[in-house]
Amino acid sequence: MTAERRGVPFLVAAPSGTGKTTVCRRVMAEDPRLRFSISHTTRKPRAGERSGQDYYFVSPKAFLEMVQAGAFLEHAEYAGNNYGTSWRALEEPLEEGFDLLVEIEVQGARQVRERRDDVCFIFLLPPSLDALASRLRARGTDDEDAIARRLGVADRELEAASIFDFAVVNDDLDAAVAAVAAIITAVRGGRGARLEGRYGREGVIGRWQRGERPHD
């Protein structure tokens, strides 16, 4: 792609277990104009994950050295592990004219909101907090204490959702992928305001909290 335009960064954040990685990968597979921002983390790889493809898996020492060198646009500690998005991972695709999908923790999203004004923020919600607890247990990577901590973090993250532009409920994977793709297409074409009624953050979260169909 020739850099006739600068790319747009799209940031997707969600409580752990909501399925943001699955949604992001599906959206990526269907849109050749998107690139994926690969974050650094100190957590251990899960089954099937590869360094340089899912994350850059680094030691705590190496991560700290990057922090001290100012390499990260944002970084945060989550559930005992560190995560960070490097400036390089963000800027290179944008300069080449690609739009960028950034999968991130809510803590990190706050930092990005403070530092950049060119980012579209998309918040992904689980069908409900009970459904989120079930997903975390089904994943089989955490014990009950860790799940309880993650649910507590999810409550706080919902309170911080006001920094986002759009929200999508992942109660059906195909529908959630289509919704995120529609937001990207609209914002890319300068038509994001047209989706405020259906996917605007305040309306979606309000309907979700009341137990209504969130995208009607």
CATH number at residue 117: 3.40.50.300
45 found inside a domain: no
Phi and psi, residue 206, nearest 5°: -60, -45
202 found inside a domain: yes
Question: What does 153-191 look like in DSSP terms, one character per residue?
Answer: HHHHHHHTGGG-SEEEE-SSHHHHHHHHHHHHHHHHTT-
42 found inside a domain: no
| pLDDT score recorded for residue 3 | 62
Please choose, from the candidates 31, 39, 41, 40, the residue with its C-alpha nearest in 3D space to the C-alpha of residue 8: 31
Full-model pTM:
0.84
70 found inside a domain: no
51 found inside a domain: no
Cα–Cα dist 189/96, whole Å? 18
153 found inside a domain: yes
Please choose, from the candidates 92, 91, 101, 98, the residue with its C-alpha nearest in 3D space to the C-alpha of residue 2: 98
CB 196 within 8 A of CB 45: no
46 found inside a domain: no
Rounded (5°) CA angle 151-153-156 = 115
| pLDDT score recorded for residue 97 | 93
Query: Domain range spanning residue 14?
Result: 9-37+97-209
Cα–Cα dist 13/180, whole Å? 12
4 found inside a domain: no
Cα–Cα dist 182/42, whole Å? 33
Domain count along the chain: 1
pLDDT along the chain (216 residues), means of 10: 80 88 94 93 92 93 97 90 92 94 88 92 90 81 81 80 93 95 96 94 90 78
